[in-house]
Structure 1
């Protein structure tokens, strides 16, 4: 077998690991955190792409599900898919939910995602100053809170079945409300920016189990008002939709018949929403 020359080997490795369904990469800004992508091979020839950031749930395995589940969408819509991976127990404590609330120990997960996007934009020579974000379950937690903190970064947000929601309530502190976000995160809430973001919310109408989402006194994320948005995921997402609409946000709400807490069974609604937003965005 003929040995590959250096240039040929580099090109072949890039084709295998950097395009299509990629390898898992460590974040340069925080190598404890990782990401996996789908990058249409056309990007190697300089084709310009939009970006969707798809955020996993508590089990983390949905990062691969989303990378693969959106691959065909990305190929035919000129859209790369970036899936962050935030490992369970990053501080050796077995904690699963820190990323959902944006901060854990010395980590600001929102800022890390912004850094990941910038890193990959440079790698693939793309302009991803704005991107879309989708998340389901724990990723739905992350997505709507990211939208509240960084609406200027988003051209769309799709929020799937979060277990708990942050309402735009200026009388309650984070995470139930937004009263203290400027002192906590260094940014004020800017409703006029959030109102520019097309927002999609999706949940199955049979997504009714409450064992994982009911906050109880003594729990790490328990606080007054933690359960006030509703008892089930559909109720809580409906409360979030109303809160966003009251702030002037255009919300598309999909309540999918017969679907329980199943991320794969809502992807068609997410893709339809994103395809429409992309079409409208590119026609401007």
Structure 2
């Protein structure tokens, strides 16, 4: 009876903390970083599901908002949601924006994210060798740069309102361009793979405040050309879209009317894109 009781308690705890709206997990590869998930009933029943990675902005609190905001989408589309948490001050220096640019000191945030996905794929017995990614604001920074580095990993990328963009410009160095991407990351730009990713770019049409996105000379991420893509988030996203399209990458660009820098008010547009893309993939 004791064994039965113990097994029953373990199963109940697993149902509460590992499935549905999960607890927060530390990343085994680097426990400074964390994640939380929504894991749909289909996965608990042993079926294969797809994966959406949703990346927070500078405040980090949107990690939980995105997990909860995409849960219904995940339920009805058999898709798990993984939300990484890249906290401020990861290196003890108070920095808040390192993850946006992928490389911060000895931290490679793209590799941390891939480690998280691999760890959770093993935990839930899933094949998440390819997944979708969405990010807004700081998460939009991360998402489009991750896409440039790892298009082979993605079946879709939804890039929401990044403050600064990395254009497919082979005449300028990272982060403004991609000239030295091989030297920075040991990864060559793979245009054919990028052309296979379903790409959405989304921003509020009224997202016009630029106090946070202009790079002043002497600031941490300032470099020549840092502000050349435009004076607002919509302008910069249009520049990014043109850069992608010039390279033969199809982009669905949406400016949501009447919306400012509000992450939750673009989610319906993102869900519609992801639902449509999943349907197309599953019909092949």
Give the structure 1 partner of residue 145 of structure 2: 145
> Would you say the 8 A contact 2:42–2:49 is kept in 1?
no
Q: For 2:274 and 2:234, locate their aligned partners in 1 and report how far apart those are by CA, in whole Å.
A: 21
C-alpha displacement of 1:44 = 1.4
Report the equivalent of 2:77: 77
In the alignment, the residues of structure 1 paired with residue 107 and residue 41 of structure 2 have an alpha-carbon distance, to the nearest angstrom, of 33
Q: Does 1:49 align with 2:49?
A: yes
CA shift, 1:64, in A, is: 0.3
Q: Deviations over 1:3-47 (max 9, x none)?
A: 971211111011000000000000000000000000012211101
TM-score, structure 2 normalization: 0.98
Hey, what does 1:278 align to over in structure 2?
278
The 5 A counterparts of 1:172-191 are 172-191=172-191
Alignment match, 1:103: 103
Give SS of 2:84's match: strand
Which position in structure 2 is the counterpart of 1:121?
121
Q: Whole-Å Cα distance in 1 between the matches of residues 208 and 39 of structure 2?
A: 36
Who is 1:15 aligned against?
Answer: 15
- 2 CA distance for matches of 1:232 and 1:201? 15
Tell me the matched-pair count.
283
Distance 1:3 1:50 in 2: 35
Q: Which runs of 5 or more structure 2 residues have no equivalent in the other structure? A: none
Q: What residue in structure 1 maps to residue 67 of structure 2?
A: 67
Q: Which deviates more from structure 2 when the two are superposed, residues 152-161 or residues 38-47? A: 38-47
Write the distance in 2 (CA, Å) between the matches of 1:189 and 1:247.
Answer: 11
User: Equivalents in 2 of 1:105, 1:67: separation in Å?
Assistant: 29
| Corresponding residue of 1:159 | 159
- CA distance in structure 2 between the partners assigned to 1:10 and 1:237 by the alignment: 48
Please list every run of at least 4 consecutive aligned residues from structure 1 whose deviation after the TM superposition is greater than 3 angstroms: none
CA RMSD of aligned residues (A): 1.1
* Aligned-partner SS, 1:25: strand
- What are the ranges of 5 or more consecutive residues in structure 1 without an aligned counterpart? none
State the SS of the aligned residue for 1:74.
helix
Equivalent residue number for residue 197 of structure 2: 197
